Amino acid sequence: MDRDEIREQLRKLPIDASVALTVRVGLRVLPWLALSREKQVLARWPTAHRSRFLLAVLQAYEIGLLAIWGRNQPQLSTVARARRAAVTAEDLNTTFADAAALAAFTAAFAAAFGTEINAAFPTDAANECTNAAKVANAAGIKTEFDLNLENDLNILRKKGAKALIQSPLWLPQTLTKWTQQLTHFQAAVTDLSNGFDFWLDWYAARCRGDEIDVDQLKARVFLPEAITSQSPQLINAYLTSIRHIHTLSGTATAKVSGNATLSHSRDAIAGPLNRVRTIFIGDGEVGKTSLIRVLHSEPVVEGIEPKTPGIDIREWRIPDTEITASFWDFGGQVMVHATHQLFLRESCLYVLLVSAREKEKATERAEYWLEHVKSFGKGAPVLIVANKADKEPVRLDENLLMEKYPGMIQGFFQLSTTEAQGAFRNQFGQFKQAFCQQLQAVGLHQVQFQKAHFAVLQNLRQRTPKQAFLTHADYAALCNEQRIDDHGVLNSAWLLDILDKLGVIVHFPDMVETEEYILNPRWLTYGVYTIMYHDVARIARADAVKLLGSKPVIDQDGNELAYPPAKCRIVFEAMRRYKLCYFLPRDPDQMIIPALLPSDIKQHGFNYASALEFHYQFESFLPRHLISELIVECHEDIADIDGQDIVWQHGVLLDNQAHQTRALIQADYHFRRLSIWLTRGSNTADLLATLRDRVERIVSRIDINYARNIRLPREALEPGSSIPLEAEWANFGQLIAMRNKNRAVYDHPSGSEYSIAKVLGLFERKASGGDTTINNSTTIINSTVGGNAVTTNEARDSFNQH
């Protein structure tokens, strides 16, 4: 059958039929996937990527299958895009262009792009069928393939897409050569030894035409982020572990075939935890706590809500579901913005509140917080609430925000929490509906727990009222009891990470010094924020202990949180580890919290005129934690002038003995800039390299764009170039790109000319061992600046020119 014939047939059928047919033909040619000249299956794919590619193809089939059952789910398109993005364009052009992979991959993805399935899809489907037919032809099974294709179309016409997917893949009389090839395929897949047994069973079930369990299929397609970000081996282990999850009707499905066994199969029946986290953010007094009150049907009276000290945690059952949302209500005071990063997480729903202000201001504040979500929440979904609309309407530039944060914003709402049951009743109803929908969408991606995991969780919950801590040894014993190993893929460390993401415990993997996990997240948040809100930049340990123990604290479940002196160390350690504070080297009993230092500049007498100047210009916002963390990292070098440490909230003077150089660092939030001035000396470039390294490491944790600029020193002017009246700047990355292209002179737009070698000679560390500068970076990406290919670093440096 040729392409046009197939297309004509598909045109007469619902779109599902096209999806089902493409998935079927893809499945049929799967055993020929990436066949090398030596007839080795998978061998055409680079060894290092084989598992990843194979998993991508198999997951693509699953997306296609689910599209047949719930094609209009917007979440499915999101998942399809994410999986597609996991395979780079380069992979697709080279390795995936492989005929069998193409049939499998593109067809299944095209099928899943919900809204994009349109009248053209039967054509695409017909293309994939003919591609698959070519593979069949090359494999010498063309006649068999055609017979089955005819048969598929027959079933589609008579019984529809779902029936087709749940019928045997091959007519019995056509299973000759194919079975031989299947054996090769199975051997190649088993050789990968990355847990693909699961998929071989899965494939066997598709070949038999087993019934599709849609709930299970959903659980496999909507994987939690904590899983998708892992290796194919872990993803496969997870898929294996959820084979027996509860279906919605509550019965365990055990239609697994083959002889692969689960390590804990007899007690593996479990399901999702049914918990999602929502984070309420926004400036102080915009009404976050009030909105949470309204959702709990509590009255809101203007003027009586106290400031939220740090983070409050409350639970809320999503109406008509089994899912409980935990609301994390972040206090909006500026001094704790830097601290919030510790507790912002991915895979949450964010509710961002702004309140009535002039348009630019409200939009700017929304952007400020959206940058946080983008950076720390990895682009999680956000609902934007313009609150206090009873006073005056909040005017937000919605188009600008939608454009700047594509895919993140799921809705805008004008609300009044004081009038939520009055004049703004309808608006509140709309918000609540969208809110519940979004929570359920986040809930789709829940981790599916095994019974053993649930048992650990339950045990931890029972302990929480009595104790806020769990020793590492107790946790190990608990896992041991439930036969959760400390090795293997879904091990006790993995469980710990998941429990942290769910907000059940707080676990900082890097805090090896402490011997305990914190069972009650509130214990740590309350501890850290109590110290931050005390608003004293220098505090002795003993006083901090007194402060923490000064009044009883009750958590959301009514448990009293105790801060015995021995445990307070954990709060200090978390703050030190996460660079919220440092201890004075000359008096280690004194804790210094840079974010709480006075904001007035300290007198430092630094000579700007002769200094070299380098700065980071941030595109959207200067992260609050950057300067505090930098101060903590450099605290041993803080200059002491007349017995005074020269450090303040937004800046610091460093006296670096090792490099015999002074550096002044200052953050300017208005201009979104971090400036570094350096005294000149033989080691200036070394100190700059160290500082750059630190700054870039801190900001690399978040997804943010910046440019690196340098003030062009006059001594680097080319002979004959007139001395400019004002300071002139150049983009550091661009200068390096020019130097790498053997350009000698930089033409400043003002007309001045500078020697590139002289400029870079002052700012760059001489190339020797252990060099950390970027001048040897050669990665070329497909991006152009002014028509020239540039390196990744340079591309980032030039964001403001795009």
Ligand X SMILES: Nc1nc2c(ncn2[C@@H]2O[C@H](COP(=O)(O)OP(=O)(O)OP(=O)(O)O)[C@@H](O)[C@H]2O)c(=O)[nH]1
| The length of the chain, given as a count of residues | 802
Amino acid (1-letter code) at residue 416: S
**DSSP-derived secondary structure for 241-277:** HTTT-B-TTSPBP----SS---TTGGG---EE--EEE
Q: Are the CB atoms for 743 and 756 separated by under 8 Å?
A: yes
Candidates 163, 242, 230, 593; CA nearest to 447 is 242
Interaction pattern, residues 229-268, with Mg ion; x per rule: CB under 5 A = ----------------------------------------
What token pair was written down for 605?
Answer: 């007498």
Give the SS3 label for residue 528: helix
Output the smallest distance, CB 287 to ligand X, in A.
Answer: 3
Residues that bind ligand X (CB under 6 A): 282, 284-290, 300, 302-303, 305, 307-308, 331-332, 387-388, 390-391, 416-418
Tell me whether residue 331 or residue 527 sits nearer to ligand X (CB atom): 331
Give the SS3 label for residue 336: helix
CA distance linking residue 80 with residue 72, whole number of Å: 13
Residues 6+ apart with CB under 8 A from 759: 710, 712, 713, 716, 730, 735, 746
**289 counts as binding Mg ion under rule CB under 5 A:** yes
Helices (H) and strands (E) in the chain, counts: 30, 28
95-103, 147-155, 307-315, 530-538 -> range binding Mg ion (CB under 5 A): 307-315
What token pair was written down for 615?
Answer: 């700065």
What token pair was written down for 50?
Answer: 């084989």
Q: Residue ranges of the alpha helices (H) in 405-540? A: 425-443, 451-463, 472-481, 492-501, 521-533
Amino acid (1-letter code) at residue 119: A
Output the smallest distance, CB 388 to ligand X, in A.
Answer: 4
Interaction pattern, residues 156-195, with Mg ion; x per rule: CB under 5 A = ----------------------------------------
Q: Is 612 left (phi over 0), alpha (psi -120 to 50) or beta?
A: beta
Tell me whether residue 316 or residue 729 sits nearer to Mg ion (CB atom): 316
CA distance linking residue 457 with residue 271, whole number of Å: 13
Burial class (CB in 10 A: 0-12, 13-18, 19+), 110: buried
End-to-end alpha-carbon separation of the chain, Å?
A: 50
Candidates 571, 462, 576; CA nearest to 522 is 571
Tell me whether residue 289 or residue 417 sits nearer to Mg ion (CB atom): 289
388 binds, among Mg ion, ligand X, none (CB under 5 to 8 A by kind): ligand X
- What dihedral do alpha carbons 607, 609, 611, 614 form, nearest 10°? 120
Interaction pattern, residues 423-462, with Mg ion; x per rule: CB under 5 A = ----------------------------------------
Output the 3-class SS for 368-395: HHHHHHHHHCCCCCEEEEEECCCCCCCC
Strands 753-755 and 745-747: antiparallel
Residues 6+ apart with CB under 8 A from 719: none
310 binds, among Mg ion, ligand X, none (CB under 5 to 8 A by kind): none
Tell me whether residue 362 or residue 759 sits nearer to ligand X (CB atom): 362
Burial class (CB in 10 A: 0-12, 13-18, 19+), 528: buried
Output the smallest distance, CB 280 to ligand X, in A.
Answer: 8
**617 counts as binding Mg ion under rule CB under 5 A:** no
CA distance linking residue 182 with residue 569, whole number of Å: 60
How far, in Å, are 246, 275, 295, 442, 501 from residue 324 at the CA level?
18, 5, 13, 12, 15
Maximum Cα–Cα distance across the chain:
95
516 binds, among Mg ion, ligand X, none (CB under 5 to 8 A by kind): none
Residues 6+ apart with CB under 8 A from 188: 40, 41, 42, 43
216 binds, among Mg ion, ligand X, none (CB under 5 to 8 A by kind): none
Q: Which of 22, 241, 308, 520 binds Mg ion (CB under 5 A)?
A: 308
Output the smallest distance, CB 293 to ligand X, in A.
Answer: 7
In the complex, the residues that contact Mg ion under the rule CB under 5 A are 288-289, 308
